[in-house]
Structure 1
Amino acid sequence: MRPHRLRFHLVDSDRSWSARQRRRRADWLARTFPDLEKMHVIDLGGRLGTWTRADVRPARVHVVNLERPPANVPDWAEVDRADACDLPARITSRRYDLVFSNSVLEHVGGHERRLRFADAVRGLGDRHWVQTPYRYFPIEPHWIAPGMQFLPVRLRTAFARRWPLGHKPTRTHEAAIHQVLWTELLDRSQMRHYFPDSRILAERVAGLPKSLIAVRADGPPVPSP
Structure 2
Amino acid sequence: MSFITDLFSPSENPRSLGAKFRNQRQKDFEDLFFKNFSKTKPVRILDLGGTDYFWKNSALLDLPNVEITLLNLSLDPNENDRFKAVVGDATSMPQFPDQSFDLIFSNSVIEHLYTWENQQKMAAEILRVGKKHFIQTPNKHFPIEAHYAIPFSQYVPKSWVFFFLTKTKVSRLQKWDPAHAQQYLDEIRLLTLQEMKKLFPGSSIYKESWLGMTKSICAHNLG
* Partner SS, residue 97 of structure 1: strand
Deviations 1:23-79 (A, max 9, x none): 110010011121375522100111121112324336110000123221x55332100
Matched, 1:33 2:33: yes
Residues in 1 aligned to 2:60 and 2:8: alpha-carbon distance in whole angstroms: 24
2 CA distance for matches of 1:124 and 1:166?
A: 37
Among 105, 109, 112, the alignment partner of 2:110 is: 105
Q: Tell me if 1:82 matches 2:88.
A: yes
Alignment partner of 1:62 is 2:66: no
- What are structure 2's unaligned runs of at least 5 residues? none
1:186-197 matched pairs, under 5 angstroms: 186-197=191-202
Aligned length: 213
Distance 2:74 2:196 in 1: 26
2:57 aligned residue (42, 53, 56):
53
SS at match of 1:56: helix
After the TM superposition, which parts of structure 1 deviate over 4 Å for at least 4 consecutive aligned residues?
Answer: 166-169
Q: What SS is found at the alignment partner of 1:46?
A: coil
Deviation, structure 1 residue 91: 2.9
Rate the CA distance shift 1:152–1:33 in 2: closer, same or farther, 3 A: same
For 1:43, the equivalent position in structure 2 comes to 47
The alpha carbon displacement at 1:94 in A equals 6.4
Cα 1:204–1:154, aligned 2, differ >3 Å: closer, same or farther?
A: same
Q: Compared with structure 1, are the counterparts of its residues 92 and 152 closer, same or farther at alpha carbon in structure 2 (3 Å cutoff)?
A: farther
Would the alpha carbon gap of residues 77 and 175 (structure 1) be closer, same or farther in structure 2, given more than 3 Å must change? closer
Deviation at 1:9, TM superposition (A): 4.2
Q: Structure 1-normalised TM-score?
A: 0.84
Gapped runs of 5+ residues in structure 1?
221-225
Report percent identity of matched pairs: 27
* 1:142/1:167 contact within 8 Å kept: no
Deviations 1:91-141 (A, max 9, x none): 346611110000001001211111110011101112100000001111011
Distance 1:14 1:46 in 2: 17
